[in-house]
Amino acid sequence: MKARFLVAALLALQGCAPVATTPSAKPPELTPIDAAGDYTHAASGFAFPAELGGFRRMSLFRRGPDARRIVAGYAAGPPECLTSVTLFVDPADRSVEADYARAKAEIQEAFGPATPDREDMIEKPSSRYAQYSLDDRRLEVIVQDAKPGWHVKQRVMYPVKCEDEVRMRVGVFLTVWESSQAARVR
């Protein structure tokens, strides 16, 4: 029962999957991937370990009609500071700016009239960042040009009261995940 509640809570925290054509369009179909252990996405070469940096993978889906898009959901922390990190891997069919605009539109659609508290742009690697406050939660999204031909969107959600400890935990997770991807030759 506890595990089922945790999965339901994480799915709710993840919000909507990226949309097919426009922000108001129907999200692409999600197909669960049954992978008990580590999983490597064949199209991109990105690896999604079952556990990483204190986070446990809770969900893994293909998105859309082909196997080129994937989403992996991770969670960590005690119930009062439950933190979700969702990684979306997509072919770089558009610019980072276009994917960032889409990510912001998805947040508006999923969470109502959320206004970013902060936005940043980083040149190398090309990425965009936004931070939102949603009642007692914080939502952060990063869209980056992860490697040639691929964009990764990172969506992080956590209780505001836990911000300091969560930032360290998420920082470790993302650093370990990104360095493990950089070590992979594709």
151 touches 90 (CB < 8 A): yes
pLDDT at 22: 39
CATH of the domain at 63: 3.40.1000
**Domain boundaries, position 73:** 2-182
Domains in the chain: how many in total? 1
What are the tens digits of pLDDT across the range 74-122?
999 999 999 999 999 999 988 999 999 999 888 888 888 777 899 998 8
Q: State residue 123's pLDDT score.
A: 79
Tens digits of residue pLDDT in 142-159: 999 888 899 999 999 999
> On the CB side of 156, how many CA atoms lie within 13 Å of its CA?
27
pLDDT digits (tens, 9 = 90+) for 19-62: 333 344 445 688 999 988 999 999 999 999 999 999 999 999 99
Indicate the pTM of the whole model: 0.81
Task: Give the C-alpha separation, 166 to 156, whole Å.
Answer: 10
Residue 6, number of CB atoms within 10 A of its CB: 15
pLDDT of residue 56: 96
